[in-house]
Chains A and B, each alone.
Chain A
Amino acid sequence: MAKYEYIIQLGKELSPMNEAYRRDDLLIKGCQSRVWLHADYDGDRVVFTADSDAIITKGLVSLMIKVLSGQTAADIVEADLYFIDAIGLKEHLSPTRANGLVAMVKQMKLYAMALAAR
């Protein structure tokens, strides 16, 4: 349970997303809750902001942002997210889970790829 209390805490602490980015075209599909993800480019680095209407999902997004935001596009594309398994959140990585963590990571990598291709 402590793990989930921490995830919820992360969700509560996530920097608020610019309201203007809570748009349907920034929604990640495949979640039971809604998740918005936006990417900004700062030189060769990608800065992510996100939000969700479910706090556990938001905590999971927050975790991914902590790890990936501010990294170079190349590093994000290459990132091996073994830590999700290592910290016991593997169940959330299954493509059939309704929280869409997999879709979220995929979208983050796509944004990074788009930047790398410029």
Chain B
Amino acid sequence: MTHYDINSIRADFPILKTKVNGHPLIYLDNGATTQKPSVVIDAISAYYTQINSNVHRGVHHLSQVATDAYEVTRNKIRAFINAAHEHEVILTNGTTHGINLVSTCFGKEFIHAGDEIIITAMEHHSNIVPWQMLCEEREVVLKIVPINDCGELDLDTYRSLLNERVKMVAITYVSNTLGTLNPIKEIIALAHQYDAAVLVDAAQAIQHIPIDVRALDVDFLAFSGHKMYGPTGVGVLYGKEKWLDRMPPYQGGGDMIKEVTFEKTTYNVLPFKFEAGTPNIEAGICLGAAVDYITTVGLTNIAQYETELLKYATTQLADIDELRFIGTAAEKCSVISFLLNGAHPYDVGVILDKLGVAVRTGHHCTQPLMDRFGIPGTVRASLAMYNTKEDIDALTVAVKRAAQMLL
């Protein structure tokens, strides 16, 4: 690995100097949202001081500049995920928006009564509820791929669930609760044998591992800007042109039309067909700065560094007798979920907060998964490129303190 200058990376994230309850902030809630580097923060300020204007509309100078900057981001994202065309990159307001767009528009065109949709037992509510809504609306059957006690998908059951009636397989790349890294490429290839499309929820993957949509041959990929060091309120839906072209628009409004009369409206070309209304221009443009930042550090470097750190964290926490890991898959990414036997995750979270350690507690929007494990929730530490072994040591000390106080 090339030299990974953790000190200089940390210096790029001003918020990491914060103190919480008298302790230095140990930020381990990156699965919920990541912190932003100065280049992103500065880009937001620069947007409003220099180029604020609406996009895709005006002939005036600023509008041209803003539109260019917005479209530059689209191209950066295209390159980042190696999409074939810029118009396959739809800018959304987040992962949830992207999944709902696909469930609605792909659903309208390609999924009919009697068809089947496959999801898994480890999905976030965002990748469950939109499909359930579709199933209720048009008598479509939802099938669930189960997991084993380690939190790994049961691929044999997955194979047995596939048939010609399956029109969509919607699956997370990395589980936000368990950290399981799913064998997406194999899952996609199997679905394609039955001509089923595959949507991958990459919200917890895009900031951790290099993704090449063409190598994966994925049909749809959704992710959020704020979890990849970018601004809140922008996200990406990648879709293959062959699907996007045939799908009806999502929302009606400005920017998505070609011509409107009261008799008949014709729709704009891709990607604008799916981008009705004024987008979050500032966030869209500044997401480009986040992509640049990640690319400069290098996703391969980040992945290698975080894998080491995850290993270290797992070893350190395993030393605590009362601690039980939830999610022990062989292939994991970024996330460590655990419980202290006999302590409610909420209690652990409160004590950790008092010691300056930010983690997430609760069901992590994966209630069916919590039911699967028979637990009310977990304590979740999730890593980002700026976390250190010292952060993990502080977490370990804090968890030991919580165990001492609560048990």
Contact = CB atoms under 8 A, between A and B. Distances in A.
Nearest to A53: B344
B362 A55 contact: no
Contacts, number: 37
A33 to B, nearest CB: 5
Contacts of B376: 33-34, 53
Contacts of B405: 1, 4-5, 8
B321 to A, nearest CB: 19
A34 B354 CA distance: 22
A96 interface: no
Interface string A64-96: 000000000000000000000000000000000
Interface in A10-61: 32-34, 53-57
Contacts of B343: 55
Contact of B346 (A1, A4, A8, A32): A32
B344 A8 contact: no
A54 B361 CA distance: 12
Given A5-B405, A8-B405, A32-B377, A54 B362 contact: no
B344 A4 contact: no
Contacts of A62: none
Interface of A: 1, 4-5, 8, 32-34, 53-57, 98-99
Given A33-B346, A54-B346, A57-B346, A98 B362 contact: yes
Contact of A98 (B346, B351, B406): B346
Interface of B: 343-344, 346-347, 350-351, 354, 361-362, 376-377, 405-406
Given A33-B346, A99-B346, A1 B377 contact: no
A56 B352 CA distance: 13
Given A33-B344, A54-B346, A99-B346, A1 B361 contact: no
Contacts of A5: 405
B354 A56 contact: no
A8 B346 CA distance: 13
Contacts of A4: 350-351, 354, 405
A99 B344 CA distance: 12
A57 B377 CA distance: 16
A109 B181 CA distance: 49
A56 B347 contact: yes
B96 to A, nearest CB: 21
B377 A54 contact: no
A5 B405 CA distance: 7
Nearest to A52: B344
21 contacts: A1-B354, A4-B350, A4-B351, A8-B347, A32-B346, A32-B361, A32-B362, A34-B376, A53-B344, A54-B344, A54-B346, A54-B347, A55-B343, A55-B347, A56-B346, A57-B344, A57-B346, A57-B347, A98-B346, A98-B362, A99-B346
Contacts of A33: 344, 346-347, 376
Nearest to A33: B346
Which 7 pairs from chain A and chain B are nearest by CB? Answer: A54-B344, A54-B346, A33-B346, A32-B346, A56-B347, A54-B347, A56-B350
Nearest to A31: B346
A5 to B, nearest CB: 6
Q: In this complex, which of A5, A32, A53, A57 has the most chain B Cβ atoms within 10 angstroms of its Cβ?
A: A32
A86 B306 CA distance: 43
Contacts of B351: 4
Contacts of A34: 376
Nearest to A98: B346
B226 to A, nearest CB: 19
A5 B343 CA distance: 14
Contacts of B354: 1, 4
A54 B350 CA distance: 11
A53 B406 CA distance: 12
Nearest to A59: B347
A55 B343 CA distance: 8
A109 B215 CA distance: 61
